[in-house]
Structure 1
């Protein structure tokens, strides 16, 4: 089990204090969802929607790239 979980509502990584998903969690997610890209996209899209509700002050495009743009 990873320690790199999001702390809501700030969406900061509990493991390293960086913005979630941090680099470590991104690598873990790619390994966990290897061969299941659609499932990874559904999971990250769900996180994206939650983060957009929790971070109304952040620009939508920035939040999108933080959650969805890094893995394609």
Structure 2
């Protein structure tokens, strides 16, 4: 019996990947999200924006101050790169 690969899901409130411990969405999570939302890029952007807001809320809940530009790059910044690479 072959073990199923573990999904790369966020662990809250740290928003680290449960599988690889990288900041979520990690590379494998990004690939999985692109696959899951294929053809629905606007829905993916909304999902990631909502996740970013939850992550910001969690950071404040931990008594820290989030870096808005870093959070944007982490959650949404890679979307334009993913769309560009799919076009070529």
TM over 0.5: yes
Deviation at 1:71, TM superposition (A): 1.1
Aligned match of 2:15? 11
Deviations 1:9-36 (A, max 9, x none): 0000001110000000001111111110
Aligned structure 1 segments of 4 or more residues deviating by more than 6 angstroms: none
Deviation at 1:2, TM superposition (A): 5.3
Indicate the structure with greater helix content.
2
1:4-43 matches, within 5 Å, as 4-43=8-47
Aligned match of 2:83? none
Structure 1: where are the runs of 5+ without partners? none
TM-score, normalised via structure 2 length: 0.76
Q: Name the CA distance, whole Å, in 1 between partners of 2:6 and 2:44.
A: 16
TM-score, normalised via structure 1 length: 0.92
Supply the RMSD in Å over aligned alpha carbons.
Answer: 1.4
